[in-house]
Structures are given as C-alpha cells and as structure tokens.
C-alpha cells in the first residue's frame, strides 16, 4: 500500500489520545509525514471543523488528502500502522497481536478511573477512588505476570500496548500531585504492583514518548483537579488552565490542595 501524500491530524496538543499518534510516528521515525494542526480546547469548535466532524467535538481526528475524516485514536493508530507499515509497531504474529489487543482493551476503564479520581471534589470518596485506581494497576500487573513475567515491556520492545498506555501513565502525574497517589512501595502489598511499576517506569522514560512533561501536565490539568474538564471555566475564573497564553512554562506550580483551596487566575499565573 502506498502512503497518502500528506495526512492532517487536528488535535489538542496535551491530549493523551493524540499523544498516542505522536508516539507511534516517533517509533517509526515518521513524525514529519503527518501535519499536526492545533485546536484550542478553551474555545468553541470552529464551524469548519464541526463541518468536517459532522458535529462531534472530540479530537484527535485524522483528515486524508481526499478530505475523508477518521475519528477515535485507536482507529487512527491502526490506520497509521497500516499506511506506514515499516517499521512495524504492532506484533505480526497473530497470537502476539491478540495478546496486545487484549491489553489494549483494558485502557478504557484504566483511563476513566484516573479521570474520575482527579476530578473528584468529595474528600470522602478519595479512599474508594484510590482503591479503584490500585485495582486498575493490579489488573495490568496480573496481565503482565501472565504474558510477560520477566521482561520490561509486554514484548521485547516498547510497542503497541506501550503506545496506548504511556500517555495515561503521564497524565496520571496529576494523581501523584493532586491526590498523593502512587503505587505502594513497601512490601507486602496484596496484590503486588512490582511488574506494572517496572512497565510504567520504562514507558515513562522511553525516548519516543517525551512529547509532554510532568510540569506541563500538572499545570494544564489544574482545572480538571477542580472538577472542570475539557477547557470548561470554573466559577470565578476568567481563563482556563488549558489556555495557550500565558505559556505554562512561565506559570507557577499550582497549589496541591485541591480540596481546601480554589486558586484564582492570578495565583495560577493566567
Ligand atoms: N475516544 C476518543 C477520546 C478523545 C477525547 O476525549 N479527546 C478529548 C481531548 S483529550 C477531547 O477532544 N475533548 C473535548 C471534547 O470531547 O469536546 C479517542 O480515543 O480519540
């Protein structure tokens, strides 16, 4: 199959779903084959974009040179793998591919649990949400113990499953910062987390996955930690923590106490 001339991805720069596509292309050394165009999540979607998506607002979307639109990061990921088959990121062997597909199917609940946790505003629910998050990690740990007990990644190298999960390991820096959440270190833990920790830490450090930093995530996702997702404005605020200007690098680190304090635009350097 020949690759189309130039593909366009419309995306929100810090979006984890879009980072999946960037990681896949980085692994292939083909980042320049796709034109990433930035959409500001704090503004209503432009008419031209809504026309392309037939009214849906979720990003990323991929636009082919013929103007056809693909939605859903996992669908787009597979499309990129198919049009740029070399070097392959997905496993070629049918059994191995099925195993990585099974792992991919765990991403939805993992992601939802982390976002529900960070957006929670009720201190009484914290412990239950922490336990729910640990259950998700335990499930990944168990999967890795079944299919790859001794290695680092699911297979020999950082591949498909790592491309799917790493953006969420990175977003969940917001749980570390705002919820003091991390995998327990002291033995004994029941169930254990050593295997998934090894996997997560290697994923976080991989050179193909460095599109965002902890500082950027913590600063941009402040509003999520206060219960406002997708660029929505919190009461008393004029600006979302997701705005492009002022740039996050020049802003102070937000207050960690999400339950006891609501920072103003000024405190956040907005
Ligand atoms: N299931 C979709 C989820 C995409 C998604 O939720 N993207 C977020 C940005 S991280 C978004 O566009 N939110 C704004 C909206 O849905 O209007 C995928 O995998 O692509």
pLDDT band at 70 (very low <50, low <70, confident <90, very high): very high
pLDDT band at 2 (very low <50, low <70, confident <90, very high): low
- Class of the CATH-defined domain 7-83: alpha beta
Q: Does the CB atom of residue 17 touch ligand 1 within 6 A?
A: yes
Domain map (residue ranges) of the chain: 7-83, 94-209
Cα Rg of the chain, angstroms: 19
Q: Does the CB atom of residue 12 touch ligand 1 within 6 A?
A: yes
Q: Does the CB atom of residue 58 touch ligand 1 within 6 A?
A: yes
Q: Does the CB atom of residue 224 touch ligand 1 within 6 A?
A: no
Q: Where are the beta strands (DSSP E) in the chain?
A: 7-11, 34-38, 61-63, 69-71
CATH for the 94-209 domain, from 1.20.1050.10, 1.20.1250.20, 3.40.190.10, 3.40.50.920: 1.20.1050.10
pLDDT single digits (tens) 152-174: 999 999 999 999 999 999 999 99
Q: Does the CB atom of residue 49 touch ligand 1 within 6 A?
A: no
Q: Does the CB atom of residue 19 touch ligand 1 within 6 A?
A: no
Residue 113 CA to ligand 1 centre (angstroms): 16
pLDDT single digits (tens) 254-269: 999 999 999 999 999 9
Other residues' Cβ atoms within 10 Å of the Cβ of residue 213: 13
Tokens of 204: 């976080």
Residue 221 CA to ligand 1 centre (angstroms): 15
Min mean pLDDT across 25-34, 122-131, 180-189, 238-247 is at: 180-189
What share of the chain has pLDDT > 90, as a percent? 93
Alpha-carbon 145 to chain mean position? 24
* Nearest atom within ligand 1 for CA of residue 72: 20
Residue 73 CA to ligand 1 centre (angstroms): 9
Residue 18 CA to ligand 1 centre (angstroms): 9
């Amino acid at each position: 199959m020949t690759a189309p001339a130039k593909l366009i991805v419309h995306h929100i720069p810090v979006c984890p779903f879009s980072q999946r596509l960037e990681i896949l292309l980085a692994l292939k050394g083909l980042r320049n084959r796709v034109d990433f165009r930035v959409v500001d999540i704090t503004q209503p979607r432009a008419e031209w974009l809504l026309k392309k998506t037939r009214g849906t607002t979720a990003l990323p979307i991929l636009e082919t040179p013929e103007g056809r639109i693909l939605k859903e990061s996992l669908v787009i990921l597979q499309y990129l793998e198919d049009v740029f088959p070399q070097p392959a990121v997905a496993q070629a062997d049918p059994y191995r591919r099925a195993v990585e597909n099974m792992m991919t199917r765990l991403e939805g609940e993992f992601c939802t649990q982390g976002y529900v946790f960070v957006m929670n505003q009720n201190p009484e629910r914290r412990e239950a949400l922490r336990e729910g998050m640990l259950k998700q990690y335990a499930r990944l740990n168990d999967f890795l113990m079944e299919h790859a007990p001794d290695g680092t990644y699911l297979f020999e190298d950082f591949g498909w499953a790592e491309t799917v999960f790493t953006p969420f390991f990175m977003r969940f820096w917001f749980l570390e910062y705002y919820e003091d959440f991390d995998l327990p270190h002291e033995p004994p833990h029941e169930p254990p987390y050593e295997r998934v920790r090894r996997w997560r830490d290697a994923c976080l450090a991989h050179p193909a996955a460095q599109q965002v930093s902890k500082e950027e995530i913590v600063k941009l996702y402040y509003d999520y930690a206060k219960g406002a997702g997708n660029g929505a404005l919190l009461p008393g605020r004029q600006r979302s923590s997701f705005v492009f200007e002022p740039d996050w690098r020049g802003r102070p680190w937000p207050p960690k106490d999400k339950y006891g304090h609501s920072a103003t635009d000024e405190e956040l350097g907005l």
